[in-house]
Structure 1
Amino acid sequence: MIPIALDPRFARLAVAGNGPLALRRFRALRAVGAADAILFSDAPADDAVIAAGGSLRRALPEAADLAALHALWIVDLPRGRAETLANAARDARVLVNVEDVPQFCDFHSVAEVRRGDLLLTISTNGRAPGLSSLIRRDLEQKYGPEWQERVAEIGALRADWQREGVAMPEAAQRIAAIVAERAWL
């Protein structure tokens, strides 16, 4: 697997599924900025209808729908339907994640800790999601809410240094000095 951080403003994302886990994945995508994410569900629960609003499609994606996507999470569908949909998505050159079925996944969703612009991720390549969750909880304790402000402060300093023409290695040294001086790590 190749770890990347994907800006949802530049990718067309969707979730296909009928249960609470599909709605949870859809909400998670929306929470990180995927404002245009779509929820495909051929049997949506009332809470999915409310949460997805105009982004709900009351069917599973067909070829034309898939052709417009970059990535698709398939959640809460029976294995046979999930496999058929995953294969159709791949035929359309869409990256696919079938939740909890690693052999059908082109990518894996990571466990994450977010503190403003700080994003810490954990992956076991889909092999041990429970372990990823435990590590995530540990990181949540070690990197508390104060890290949001720390990242913002360093980001502002870095922007100033860039305007001043400070080279990247020098900026890295300055950041390391601040972190050491304040005993952040």
Structure 2
Amino acid sequence: MIPLAIDPARVSIALAGQGPLAVRRLAQLREGGADPAVYSPEPDGELAALAGDRLFRALPQAGDLDGIGLLYVMGLGPEAEQALAELARRHRVLVNVEDVVPLCDFHSPSVVRRGDLVLTVSTGGRSPTLASLLRQRLEALFPEVWAERLRAVAALRDRRRAEGAAMSEVARESREMIAREGWLP
């Protein structure tokens, strides 16, 4: 596995599915800044409300995948999920079929968000339970205050770079600040 962080402002994302897994994945994508198109032939009320005007009450067809970089699929049944995975690949779209590892080009890690600080855990789809337990541990180790800590160290970096400091000097000063504040044991 090669871990990546995707910028949803640069990579278009779509979701095809229904049920609680689709609701959960859509909420996670929104937390990450994505506003995906949602394809669902029979969405429940919660998914329809969350998707809003981005909802299409059908499964995506070939033309719908033009310009899409990532496609999440869930809750559609094995035949529809396999067909969508094959269609996505023919259109050079990376696909993740929830909990069907052989149909996944990528796996989504468990995520802890603290402002712009994003911590992730992945088991490559091998044990979502372990990934979830590790995420819970990270949440305890990195409470909400880390969002402000990142803003503070980023402000130092931005100020020193604007003053013309070399990256090695900025890195040293950042390490000194983190140590002085006692942020890490």
Structure 2 counterpart of 1:127, which letter?
Answer: R
Pairwise CA distance, 1:80: 1.8
Secondary structure at the residue paired with 2:9? Answer: helix
Secondary structure at the residue paired with 1:141? Answer: helix
Q: Distance in 2 between matches of 1:49 and 1:119?
A: 28
Pairwise CA distance, 1:65: 0.5
Secondary structure at the residue paired with 1:21? Answer: helix
Is the 1:40–1:56 contact (alpha carbons within 8 Å) kept by the matching residues of 2? yes
1:126 aligns to what? Answer: 125
Q: Distance in 2 between matches of 1:68 and 1:166?
A: 40
Secondary structure at the residue paired with 1:42? Answer: coil
Pairwise CA distance, 1:68: 2.8
Q: Distance in 1 between matches of 2:172 and 2:54?
A: 46
**Aligned positions, number:** 184
2:13 aligns to what? Answer: 13
Q: Distance in 2 between matches of 1:133 and 1:47?
A: 24
**What is the root-mean-square deviation in Å for CA atoms of aligned residues?**
0.9
Is the 1:14–1:26 contact (alpha carbons within 8 Å) kept by the matching residues of 2? no
Pairwise CA distance, 1:3: 1.1
1:82 aligns to what? Answer: 81
Asked whether 1:101 is paired with 2:86, we answer no
User: What are the residue-to-residue correspondences of 1:6-85 with 2, within 5 Å?
Assistant: 6-35=6-35, 37-85=36-84
Q: With the length of structure 2 as denominator, give the TM-score of the two structures.
A: 0.96
Q: With the length of structure 1 as denominator, give the TM-score of the two structures.
A: 0.96
Secondary structure at the residue paired with 2:120? Answer: strand
Pairwise CA distance, 1:67: 2.1
Q: Distance in 1 between matches of 2:89 and 2:176?
A: 47
Pairwise CA distance, 1:24: 1.5
Q: Distance in 1 between matches of 2:90 and 2:22?
A: 22
Unaligned runs of 5+ in 2: none
Secondary structure at the residue paired with 1:34? Answer: coil
Structure 1 counterpart of 2:108, which letter?
Answer: S
Structure 2 counterpart of 1:20, which letter?
Answer: P
Pairwise CA distance, 1:114: 0.6
Q: Distance in 1 between matches of 2:5 and 2:18?
A: 27
Q: Distance in 2 between matches of 1:48 and 1:145?
A: 28
Pairwise CA distance, 1:89: 0.4
Secondary structure at the residue paired with 1:16? Answer: strand
Deviates more, 1:76-85 or 1:94-103: 76-85
Q: Distance in 2 between matches of 1:103 and 1:17?
A: 18
1:54-109 Cα deviation digits (max 9, x unpaired): 10000000000112311000011211210111011000000000011111111100
Structure 2 counterpart of 1:119, which letter?
Answer: V
Q: Distance in 2 between matches of 1:63 and 1:73?
A: 15
Structure 2 counterpart of 1:45, which letter?
Answer: D
Pairwise CA distance, 1:177: 0.9
Deviating beyond 2 angstroms after TM superposition, the runs of 4 or more aligned structure 1 residues are none
Pairwise CA distance, 1:31: 2.0
